[in-house]
Amino acid sequence: MSDAYEVVGEAADGVEAIQAVKKHKPDIVLMDISMPKLGGLEATLEIKKINPAIKILVLTQYEDTVYIRRFFKAGVSGYLLKKAVGVELLTAIETVMSGKTYVHPSIASCVMDGYLGIQKGEPVEDTYDSLTDREKQVLKLIAEGYTQKEAADILNISAKTVVTHQTNISVKLGIHTRAGLIKFAIQKGIIKLTG
């Protein structure tokens, strides 16, 4: 493994991350969870569609098992906390680039507990998982206050398609108001309250 890595692009939000991956075709992406427009999870889902072989290493402050499970389900190769610096980051990158999975040591036990819980047959149901990848993107944007037209522009789809996705989301979740969708998004950690 080479000790030298070249940064080929940076992105301020999930939409830019997707565009940068299309343009630069990197081997690995360091992904944050909290980003404007499309968040890290929504961008990861789209990037994995573009290039299923790409390695994605989540670099975040969140140790929440819900986030961890969602990202690994989306196909990331590793999950690293931002408090990790220097050598640990390089170790994570090298581990992921060698085809292995990297989990930050401080969250390894919760990952194993989650895995063992699933293996024991304990149900791990999350209504969020019933949504398609595009519905997850639309939900995040609507919950963040974007209009249907703005969400359509961000996702490069028609406003009518956004309306269809929002209707499907409402039916699947049994939530029929924007306020209800916002509350659901906050409860599920899709968006965070800032204060």
Structural domains of the chain, count: 2
Please indicate, yes or no, whether residues 76 and 161 belong to a single structural domain of this protein.
Answer: no
* Boundary-marking domain end, from 95, 119, 143: 119
pLDDT of residue 124: 52
Residue 5 belongs to some domain of the structure: no
pLDDT of residue 115: 53
Please indicate, yes or no, whether residues 144 and 167 belong to a single structural domain of this protein.
Answer: yes
Please indicate, yes or no, whether residues 22 and 86 belong to a single structural domain of this protein.
Answer: yes
Residue 3 belongs to some domain of the structure: no
By three-state DSSP, how is residue 30 classified? strand
Query: 134 near 165, Cβ under 8 Å?
Result: yes
The answer to pTM > 0.75 is: no
Residue 4 belongs to some domain of the structure: no
Please indicate, yes or no, whether residues 92 and 180 belong to a single structural domain of this protein.
Answer: no
What 8-state DSSP symbol labels residue 82?
Answer: T
Please indicate, yes or no, whether residues 19 and 115 belong to a single structural domain of this protein.
Answer: yes
- CATH at 137: 1.10.10.10
The C-alpha atoms of residue 16 and residue 155 are separated, in whole angstroms, by 11
Residue 59 belongs to some domain of the structure: yes
Range of the domain at 76: 14-119
Cα 40–chain centre separation = 4
Which residues of the chain fall below pLDDT 70?
1-3, 84-85, 106-125, 194-195
pLDDT of residue 117: 54
What 8-state DSSP symbol labels residue 102?
Answer: E
pLDDT of residue 194: 63
Query: 107 near 113, Cβ under 8 Å?
Result: no
- CATH at 96: 3.40.50.2300
Please indicate, yes or no, whether residues 52 and 139 belong to a single structural domain of this protein.
Answer: no
